[in-house]
Amino acid sequence: MVAIGRETTSRFIKIRCPKCKNEQIMFGKAASPVLCLVCAKSLADPTGGKARVKARILEILD
């Protein structure tokens, strides 16, 4: 149940792999490492809160 009047701080993020230029969507508070679906390069690491993104952020999705 979500409290009324509260806005979530979590978002989905569209990122681009620096190695193969693949674009994919990840959760902003990822709990596990995010790998590129094409070349398996590490794109983001979990931190216990917002993920540490190591790729180019193209768009924040609502």
Yes or no: say if 14 and 27 are a contact pair by the CB < 8 Å rule: no
Full pLDDT tens readout for the chain, 62 residues: 555 666 777 899 999 999 999 999 999 999 999 999 999 999 999 999 999 999 999 999 98
Distance of CA 34 to the CA centre of its chain: 7
Q: What confidence score (pLDDT) does residue 5 get?
A: 64
Q: In CATH, what number is assigned to the domain containing residue 44?
A: 2.20.25.100
Look at residue 2 and tell me if it is in a domain. Answer: no
Position 1 in a domain: no
Q: How many domains does the chain have?
A: 1
Report the candidate in 9, 14, 6, 5 with the shortest Cα–Cα distance to residue 56: 14
CA distances to 1, 15, 43 from 54, rounded to whole Å, are: 33, 9, 5
With respect to residue 29, please indicate whether it lies within any of the assigned structural domains.
Answer: yes
4 domain residue, yes or no = no
Q: Which domain holds residue 26?
A: 12-61
